[in-house]
Amino acid sequence: MADIFEKCFDFTAVEEVKNKGVYPYFHALESRQDVEVMMEGKRRIMLGSNNYLGLTTHPEVIEAGLKALEQYGSGCSGSRFLNGTLDMHIQLEKELAEFLRKDEVVTFSTGFQSNLGIISAIVGRHDYVICDRENHASIYDGCKLSFGKMLRYKHADMEDLEKALQSVPESAGILIITDGVFSMGGDIANLPEIVRLARQYGARVMVDDAHGLGVIGEGGRGTASYFGLEDEVDIYMGTFSKSLASLGGYMAASERVANYVRHNSRPFIFSASITPASCATALAALKVLREHPELPENLRAISARARKGLIDRGVKIRMSDTPIIPIYTYDPDSTLIRAKQVYEAGVYVNPVLPPATAPTECLLRTSYMANLTEALVDEAVEIIADVLATPIAL
């Protein structure tokens, strides 16, 4: 009889990387998630966070969380379906629906769970779901949890998407799912062409806007707004853990679709609801965003400064128009070494390795916040450029 733990005992990759002294994960924060952090006893400039609007330290957001903790306690101890619905959950859904210009919003306990819950409820046994190859892992897992058939198209390749659509039987329902802003590359989906093809082939469209909300579009309303296609996208999915500085996720859709998901999504029905503090901080962050539509503009300006600084210093980057700026490091070993060198020099970035990239296209993912100062950006860019200009000792 085989031992089910054999795979665990044979998994030595972590020990091998640790022995080389370049293990890049689980660095411990000793301060708030901010533009500068204390991490393992040293100041680092944070270029590895998804806190795009810098609201995790905003006084109104923190105060809202503290008040909710005092008023409602630490948790709801039940699902939204039963005892876990607070009046504040309903308020968050109402205000977010108004902001996104959709009929209704359904909230989930995490962003990952949102994709699991939406896709598994919507995509049935005889349906097809068609995905960009670089979609987030939660989309893939949501497809696996559904009973439908998943087809993938080459990243951002609209001809390949059309081939996939042409292969679907006319009797089948089709849901096209794409990231709005792709989390590793920072590029924006070709939503106009996706919508055109969806119309032509009778498909519905879902956009994962986890990295789009607060980042692009009118007042930070996301990818559909960016292209003026808010009425053409059937489902928006997003998270509270990035621009809205909290924890949780959501689906924005028509009233009928939202009502169906509420009553048929197992990840929604059988999970505890968002904690009071998380709900309150998301609400407060949404309020700040609505009152300060210049925040996404500040984010774009600071990201453009970083992008120009890296290019001017000869750093090879993957071009984007978002606050996600990947730096090519090519192979896994070089990526791990460079990530450690940059970290030790005082900047935190995220190494991106297979399977998130091809083995020869590894990256250092840098991401920026609206409250970064020009001085901090310039300092970080100089550190990164100096590190990358130094040959790796073999």
Instruction: Establish whether 211 is a catalytic residue.
Output: yes
Q: From the CB of residue 312, how many other CB atoms can be counted at a distance below 10 Å?
A: 10
**Six-digit token pair at 162?**
């059309």
pLDDT attached to residue 394: 58
Read off the pLDDT of residues 82-138 as tens digits, 9 standing for 90 and up. Answer: 999 999 999 999 999 999 999 999 999 999 999 999 999 999 999 999 999 999 999
Read off the pLDDT of residues 298-329 as tens digits, 9 standing for 90 and up. Answer: 999 999 999 999 999 999 999 999 999 999 99
- The catalytic residue among 138, 241, 242, 303 is 242
Tell me the pTM. Answer: 0.96
Quote the CA–CA distance of 391 and 394 in Å, as a whole number: 9
User: In terms of DSSP bridges, do strands 204-208 and 174-179 run parallel, antiparallel, or are they unpaired?
Assistant: parallel
pLDDT attached to residue 363: 96
Average pLDDT in the 133-157 region?
97
In whole numbers, what is the pLDDT of the chain averaged over residues?
97
Quote the CA–CA distance of 56 and 164 in Å, as a whole number: 41
- The catalytic residue among 183, 241, 303, 367 is 183
Quote the CA–CA distance of 85 and 274 in Å, as a whole number: 9
Instruction: Establish whether 242 is a catalytic residue.
Output: yes
Quote the CA–CA distance of 246 and 88 in Å, as a whole number: 14
Position 93, amino acid: E
DSSP of 130-189: EEETT--HHHHHHHHHSSSEEEEE-TT-HHHHHHHHHTS-TTS-EEEEEESB-TTT-PBP
b/e string for 239-260 if b means 16 or more Cβ within 10 A? bbbbbbbbbbbbbbbeeebbee
User: What share of the chain has pLDDT > 70, as a percent?
Assistant: 100
Average pLDDT in the 2-8 region?
96
Read off the pLDDT of residues 191-232 as tens digits, 9 standing for 90 and up. Answer: 999 999 999 999 999 999 999 999 999 999 999 999 999 999
Q: CA dist 255 to 106, 261, 262, Å?
A: 10, 10, 11
Q: How confident is the model at residue 386 (pLDDT cuts 50, 70, 90)?
A: very high
Average pLDDT in the 252-275 region?
97
Instruction: Establish whether 183 is a catalytic residue.
Output: yes
Read off the pLDDT of residues 346-379 as tens digits, 9 standing for 90 and up. Answer: 999 999 999 888 899 999 999 999 999 999 999 9
Query: Collapsing DSSP states into helix, strand and coil, what is residue 366?
Result: strand
CB of 160 closer than 8 Å to CB of 190: no
- The catalytic residue among 146, 211, 271, 278 is 211
CB of 211 closer than 8 Å to CB of 183: yes
Read off the pLDDT of residues 229-245 as tens digits, 9 standing for 90 and up. Answer: 999 999 999 999 999 99
Whether residue 393 is predicted with pLDDT greater than 80 in this model: the reply is: no
**DSSP-derived secondary structure letter, 129:** E
Domains in the chain with CATH codes? 6-57+293-389 (3.90.1150.10), 59-291 (3.40.640.10)
